[in-house]
A = this chain, B = another copy of it.
């Protein structure tokens, strides 16, 4: 494969290597003289495979493509790099809640955490470019709702939100539903069983 790369592959390599940001297929197409998008997709797949065993990888994050170093080479590179600013526990928790529930209002975040969220916490996440306001919820008070950004996906190495660790299981077990909904579901279920409280709180007897 490496002997005679297709010219589209070479062009993609050059463009993605030189780009300062991850690029969407559309951006790539327009940059490469309106290349055919289906062909681009094929070429990207080819390149992803080509680079898979190497020290740099081609990855897709939130519909954007970029090159990055292979994760297992991290120890070689970390030395010279200042490590990331550590996020506070509050910030990581808020980030996770936004990512798994998005879009979500501050009140909803607080209801999950059981504490008020200081403005600084959301600020830190927005400054990092991982979270952004995403309109308002059409309920009384029209609270601002928040969502994650493509940069969030890129930073955490997620191709899309579907790749969030454990999201399928969390969804299946109702962990992403509001407490009220889960509560009603549980109550309904236990009523069906005709043995209301016993099932709901097995732990109290």
A: which residues have CB within 8 A of B?
Answer: 1-5, 9-15, 17-18, 30-33, 50, 53-56, 67, 69-70, 73-74, 76-77, 79-80
Contacts and interface: CB of A to CB of B under 8 A. Distances in A.
Nearest to A10: B55
A13 B54 contact: yes
Given A11-B73, A14-B77, 6 more contacts: A10-B54, A14-B55, A14-B56, A15-B73, A32-B76, A33-B76
Contacts of A32: 76
A51 to B, nearest CB: 9
A159 B76 CA distance: 26
Query: Closest 10 interchain pairs by CB?
Result: A13-B55, A10-B55, A14-B73, A14-B55, A14-B69, A2-B2, A17-B56, A18-B77, A13-B56, A11-B76
Contacts of A77: 14-15, 18, 31
